[in-house]
Structure 1
């Protein structure tokens, strides 16, 4: 079995709480949209980090509107 190296790890904000909140269609656990979750493995690390940088603010605004 090949050894997993740091360069093959994928950064993820997943918390294991997978619950999509309507009407925003954002996961209550990580704050990502369904499209972001679906495409996560195909994104570059730079794209993932950019999304992750805004997730706390996104989740906070969910609480204000939800």
Structure 2
């Protein structure tokens, strides 16, 4: 089961916490700083929306 389909929705954090200045995203979890800060108080539906953004970002990034 994909993480975003679980209840409760797990954090995408993989303990590689470094913000990329060129994208404004964490290099480990692909979240913005605002998404990271708000995670603990977000509802499951809000967390699923963040996961959807992460999946979209994964498709746009070039991992060469």
TM-score (norm 2): 0.71
Are the equivalent residues in 2 in contact too, given 1:28–1:59 (CA < 8 A)?
Answer: no
By how many angstroms is 1:51 displaced?
0.9
Are the equivalent residues in 2 in contact too, given 1:14–1:29 (CA < 8 A)?
Answer: yes
Alignment match, 2:32? 33
Are the equivalent residues in 2 in contact too, given 1:14–1:30 (CA < 8 A)?
Answer: yes
Alignment match, 1:45? 44
By how many angstroms is 1:28 displaced?
0.6
Aligned residue-pair number? 57
Tell me how far apart the structure 1 counterparts of residues 56 and 44 of structure 2 sit (CA, whole Å): 20
Structure 1 or 2, whichever has the larger Rg, is 1
Runs of 5+ unmatched residues, structure 2: 1-6
Are the equivalent residues in 2 in contact too, given 1:11–1:45 (CA < 8 A)?
Answer: no
The RMSD of aligned alpha carbons is: 2.1
TM-score (norm 1): 0.69
